[in-house]
């Protein structure tokens, strides 16, 4: 499973309808990203279409391009913090022990300075009396981000039954006997309530194929919904039998960053009774994902949950 960063993320968009399939070149990298009418990215800039994929795209989606010359972030700087605030309003303050984090727990980390930063994965490797945490350095980013002593960072901690958002200060950046960070006791902790396999409705353009390396993906389908465990894929034909594996690739906007998500998935079930006639619905379960992909996918699901008032609907 791979995660690539092809271009800009959640930028403000000026969308223009693509009425003529000829506006999208065949077998040539796309000069611009392609979006659905609701702003969902369907294809990243540089993606390549064959004639069958282009035909499917115009038959089942409403392709648009973004004509804005300059992209700017709008209304996302509070991100996960806003969602946590809504879900925690009126609750008692949480402490580090309340999260029940285990050594090795997956964390997402980013600087609080500025906007537009993605969550980068790291791991919890220890605690210190008083609430400080020891974590691995964040995975490489482009451009590289090097946390420094005194910097305030946001953390998303993925525990067994819930996800938490917290703010810490980098107390130390250590290099011996290996590289790690010492983070202060969290000044703020908010619980982002997450059921294990919440599915959110989507309409994603998904390239797929039986080549598990992803180098030969000559079909296009509709990602009807997605969770951190799998997705439903509607295709114009039966892809394979239950138990067989396929490769899926689709663009997602995770937090403030546009990314291309690639995974191997197992076909768990097949259904012909899809909302659109002539399509077969495949229930897919993702193979184990890398830490980078888990963070990106969880952020994407969180964003969609917020869009359907998932967090606002939690009891206060």
For position 305, what pLDDT does the model report? 59
For position 314, what pLDDT does the model report? 31
**Distance between first and last Cα of the chain:** 38
Mean predicted confidence (pLDDT) in 1-23: 61
CB 54 within 8 A of CB 63: no
301 and 203 in a single domain? The answer is yes
202 and 279 in a single domain? The answer is yes
Residues 6+ apart with CB under 8 A from 263: 1, 247, 248, 286, 287, 289, 293
- The predicted-structure confidence for 125-175, as pLDDT tens digits, reads as follows 998 877 789 999 887 666 677 889 999 888 888 766 667 888 889 999 999
264 within a domain of the structure (yes/no): yes
48 and 134 in a single domain? The answer is no
39 within a domain of the structure (yes/no): yes
12 within a domain of the structure (yes/no): yes
160 and 225 in a single domain? The answer is no
Buried b (16+ CB within 10 A) or exposed e, 19-55: eeeeebeeeeebebbbbbeeebbbbbbebebeeebbe
Distance between CA atoms of residues 169 and 147, nearest Å: 10
For position 143, what pLDDT does the model report? 62
Is the pLDDT assigned to residue 64 strictly greater than 50? yes
Of the residues 192, 221, 256, which one is the last residue of a structural domain? 192
Phi, psi of 155 (to 5 degrees): -125, 135
80 within a domain of the structure (yes/no): no
173 and 232 in a single domain? The answer is no
Is the pLDDT assigned to residue 268 strictly greater than 50? yes
Distance between CA atoms of residues 236 and 60, nearest Å: 10
86 within a domain of the structure (yes/no): no
CB 190 within 8 A of CB 81: yes
Residue 202 is part of which domain span?
Answer: 2-68+197-307
For position 118, what pLDDT does the model report? 67
Alpha carbons within 13 A on the beta-carbon side of 98: 14
175 and 221 in a single domain? The answer is no
181 and 231 in a single domain? The answer is no
Mean predicted confidence (pLDDT) in 258-264: 83
120 and 216 in a single domain? The answer is no
Of the residues 192, 216, 235, which one is the last residue of a structural domain? 192
Alpha carbons within 13 A on the beta-carbon side of 151: 18
Asked which of 68-77, 134-143, 282-291 is least confident by mean pLDDT, the reply is 68-77
For position 80, what pLDDT does the model report? 38
Q: What is the CATH number for 99?
A: 2.30.110.10
For position 129, what pLDDT does the model report? 74
For position 135, what pLDDT does the model report? 93
Of the residues 192, 225, 244, which one is the last residue of a structural domain? 192
Mean predicted confidence (pLDDT) in 9-29: 76
79 within a domain of the structure (yes/no): no
Residues 6+ apart with CB under 8 A from 257: 5, 9, 10, 116, 118, 296
Q: What is the CATH number for 33?
A: 2.40.10.220
Cα–chain-centroid distance for residue 220? 20
> Which among 196, 248, 254 is positioned nearest to 224, based on CA atoms?
248
17-31, 155-169, 273-287 — most confident range: 17-31
Distance between CA atoms of residues 71 and 3, nearest Å: 22
270 and 187 in a single domain? The answer is no
How many domains does one find in the chain? 2
- The predicted-structure confidence for 78-103, as pLDDT tens digits, reads as follows 443 444 444 444 445 677 777 778 88
Confidence of residue 306 (pLDDT cuts 50, 70, 90): very low
Mean predicted confidence (pLDDT) in 230-241: 89
57 and 205 in a single domain? The answer is yes
Distance between CA atoms of residues 61 and 281, nearest Å: 17
For position 309, what pLDDT does the model report? 33
278 within a domain of the structure (yes/no): yes
The answer to whether the predicted template modeling score (pTM) of the entire model surpasses 0.75 is no
Confidence of residue 303 (pLDDT cuts 50, 70, 90): low
Distance between CA atoms of residues 55 and 112, nearest Å: 44
161 within a domain of the structure (yes/no): yes
């Amino acid at each position: 499973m791979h995660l690539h960063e092809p271009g800009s993320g959640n930028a403000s968009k000026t969308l223009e309808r693509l009425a003529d399939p000829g506006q999208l070149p065949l077998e040539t990298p796309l000069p611009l990203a392609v979006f659905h009418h609701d702003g969902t990215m369907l294809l990243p800039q540089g993606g390549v279409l064959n004639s069958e994929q282009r035909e499917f795209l115009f038959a089942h989606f409403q392709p648009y391009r973004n004509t804005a010359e300059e992209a700017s972030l709008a209304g996302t700087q509070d991100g996960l913090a806003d969602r946590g605030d809504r879900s925690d309003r009126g609750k008692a303050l949480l402490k580090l022990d309340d999260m029940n984090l285990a050594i090795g727990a997956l964390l997402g980390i980013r600087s609080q300075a500025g906007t537009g930063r993605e969550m980068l994965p790291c791991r919890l490797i220890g605690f210190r009396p008083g609430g400080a945490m020891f974590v691995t350095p964040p995975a490489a980013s482009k451009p590289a981000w090097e946390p420094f002593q005194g910097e305030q960072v946001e953390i998303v901690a993925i525990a067994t039954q819930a996800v938490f958002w917290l703010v810490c200060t980098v107390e130390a950046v250590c290099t011996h006997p290996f590289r790690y960070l010492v983070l202060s006791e969290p000044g703020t902790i908010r619980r982002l309530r997450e059921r294990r396999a919440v599915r959110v409705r989507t309409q994603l353009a998904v390239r797929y194929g039986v080549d598990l390396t992803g180098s030969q993906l000559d079909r296009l389908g509709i990602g009807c919904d997605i969770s951190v465990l799998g997705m439903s894929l509607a295709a114009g034909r039966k892809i394979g039998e239950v138990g067989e594996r396929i490769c899926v690739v689709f663009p997602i906007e995770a937090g403030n960053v546009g990314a291309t998500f690639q995974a191997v998935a197992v076909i768990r079930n097949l259904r012909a009774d899809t909302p659109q006639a002539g399509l077969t619905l495949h229930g897919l379960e993702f193979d184990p994902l890398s830490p980078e992909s888990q963070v990106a996918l969880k952020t994407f699901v969180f964003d969609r949950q917020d869009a359907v008032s998932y967090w606002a609907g939690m009891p206060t």
